[in-house]
Amino acid sequence: MTVAIKKPTLSPAAASFLTKELKMLIDGKWVAAQNGKTFPVEDPATLEIIAHVPEGDKADIDLAVKAARKAFESGPWPKISPAERAKLIWRLGDLLEQHADEFSELEALDNGKPVTNARNGDIPGSIGLFRYMSGWCQRLNGETIPVSSAGDWHAYTLREPVGVVGQIIPWNFPLMMAAWKLAPALAAGCTIVLKPAEQTPLSALRLGEIIMEAGFPAGVVNIVTGFGETAGAALAEHPDVDKIAFTGSTEVGKLIVKAAAGNLKRVSLELGGKSPAIVFADADMEGAIAGTADAIFYNQGQCCTAGSRLFAHKSIYDKVVQGVADQANKLKVGHGLDKTVNLGPLVSKEQHERVTGFIQSGRSEGAEVVTGGAAIGNQGYFVAPTVLANTNRDMKVVRQEIFGPVVCIQSFDDDSLEAVAKFANDTEYGLQASVWTRNLRVAHMMARKIKAGTICINAHNYGDPAWPFGGFKQSGWGREMGKEVMEHYTETKSVAAKL
Q: Which of 126, 247, 437, 474 binds ligand NDP (CB under 6 A)?
A: 247
Interface segment toward ligand NDP; rule CB under 6 A; list 97-105, 246-254, 318-326, 365-373:
246-254
Q: Which of residues 360-379 bind ligand NDP (CB under 6 A)?
A: none
| Distance from the first to the final alpha carbon of the chain | 77
Say if CB 178 and CB 201 are below 8 A apart: no
Q: Which of residues 393-432 bind ligand NDP (CB under 6 A)?
A: 401, 403
Q: Which of residues 39-68 bind ligand NDP (CB under 6 A)?
A: none
Residue nearest ligand NDP, Cβ-based: 228
Tell me: does residue 232 bind ligand NDP (CB under 6 A): yes
Q: Which of 229, 318, 415, 426 binds ligand NDP (CB under 6 A)?
A: 229
Tell me: does residue 172 bind ligand NDP (CB under 6 A): yes
Q: Which of 44, 121, 128, 170 binds ligand NDP (CB under 6 A)?
A: 170
User: Among residues 91 and 181, whose Cβ is nearest to ligand NDP?
Assistant: 181
Q: How far is the CB of 195 from ligand NDP (least distance, A)?
A: 6
Q: How far is the CB of 117 from ligand NDP (least distance, A)?
A: 16
DSSP H helical segments within 450-493, as ranges? 485-488
The CA distance from 291 to 284, in Å, is 10
- For the chain, helix (H) and strand (E) counts, in that order, are 17, 22
Q: How far is the CB of 401 from ligand NDP (least distance, A)?
A: 4
Q: Which of 174, 272, 362, 470 binds ligand NDP (CB under 6 A)?
A: 272
The CA distance from 340 to 427, in Å, is 36
Q: Which of 41, 175, 190, 255 binds ligand NDP (CB under 6 A)?
A: 255
Q: Which own/partner pairs from 264-269 qualify as long-range (CB within 8 Å, at least 24 positions apart)?
A: 265/166, 265/241, 266/162, 266/242, 266/488, 267/243, 267/477, 268/243, 268/244, 268/476, 268/477, 268/478, 268/480, 268/488, 269/476, 269/477, 269/478
Nearest to 159 by CA among 147, 175, 174, 143: 143
Q: Which residue in the list 137, 190, 303, 304 is annotated as catalytic?
A: 304
Query: Is 137 a catalytic site residue?
Result: no
Say if CB 464 and CB 126 are below 8 A apart: no
Rounded to whole angstroms, the maximal C-alpha distance in the chain is 80
Tell me: does residue 233 bind ligand NDP (CB under 6 A): yes
Tell me: does residue 110 bind ligand NDP (CB under 6 A): no
Q: Which of 236, 321, 389, 485 binds ligand NDP (CB under 6 A)?
A: 236
Query: Is 229 a catalytic site residue?
Result: no
Q: What is the DSSP letter of 119?
A: I
CA distance to 46, 104, 199, 213, 378, per residue, from 334 (Å): 10, 16, 19, 35, 12
Which residues have CB under 8 Å from 188's CB, separation 6+? 136, 140, 159, 161, 162, 486, 489, 490
Tell me: does residue 252 bind ligand NDP (CB under 6 A): yes
Interface segment toward ligand NDP; rule CB under 6 A; list 24-32, 83-91, 167-175, 317-325:
167-175
DSSP 191-250: EEEEE--TT--HHHHHHHHHHHHHTPPTTSEEE--B-IIIIIHHHHH-TT--EEEEES-H
Phi then psi for residue 356, to 5 deg, are -65, -30
The CA distance from 387 to 323, in Å, is 10
SS3 (DSSP) at 118: helix
Site string for ligand NDP, 193-222 (x = CB under 6 A): --x-xx------------------------
Strands in 191-195's sheet, in edge-to-edge order, are 29-31, 24-26, 221-223, 191-195, 164-168, 243-247, 266-270, 476-477
Q: What is the number of other CB atoms lying within 10 angstroms of the CB of residue 457?
A: 17
Locate the DSSP E strands across 327-379: 333-334, 368-371
The site that binds ligand NDP (CB under 6 A) totals a number of residues, namely 27
Interface segment toward ligand NDP; rule CB under 6 A; list 39-47, 227-235, 260-268, 454-462:
227-235
Q: How far is the CB of 172 from ligand NDP (least distance, A)?
A: 5
Helix (H) or strand (E) holding 277: strand 276-279
Q: How far is the CB of 267 from ligand NDP (least distance, A)?
A: 12
Q: How far is the CB of 348 from ligand NDP (least distance, A)?
A: 8
Q: Which residues pair with 165 in a beta bridge?
A: 192, 243
User: Among residues 171 and 216, whose Cβ is nearest to ligand NDP?
Assistant: 171
User: Among residues 157 and 400, whose Cβ is nearest to ligand NDP?
Assistant: 400
Tell me: does residue 174 bind ligand NDP (CB under 6 A): no
Q: How far is the CB of 31 from ligand NDP (least distance, A)?
A: 18
Helix (H) or strand (E) holding 457: strand 454-457
Tell me: does residue 353 bind ligand NDP (CB under 6 A): no
Tell me: does residue 480 bind ligand NDP (CB under 6 A): no
Q: How far is the CB of 477 from ligand NDP (least distance, A)?
A: 13
Q: Which of 54, 228, 345, 385 binds ligand NDP (CB under 6 A)?
A: 228
The CA distance from 26 to 66, in Å, is 9
Tell me: does residue 333 bind ligand NDP (CB under 6 A): no
Q: Which residue in the list 55, 270, 401, 480 is annotated as catalytic?
A: 270
Kindly list the residues in this chain that would bind ligand NDP in the complex (CB under 6 A).
168-172, 195, 197-198, 227-229, 232-233, 236, 247-249, 252, 255-256, 271-272, 304, 351, 354, 401, 403
What residues are annotated to the active site? 270, 304
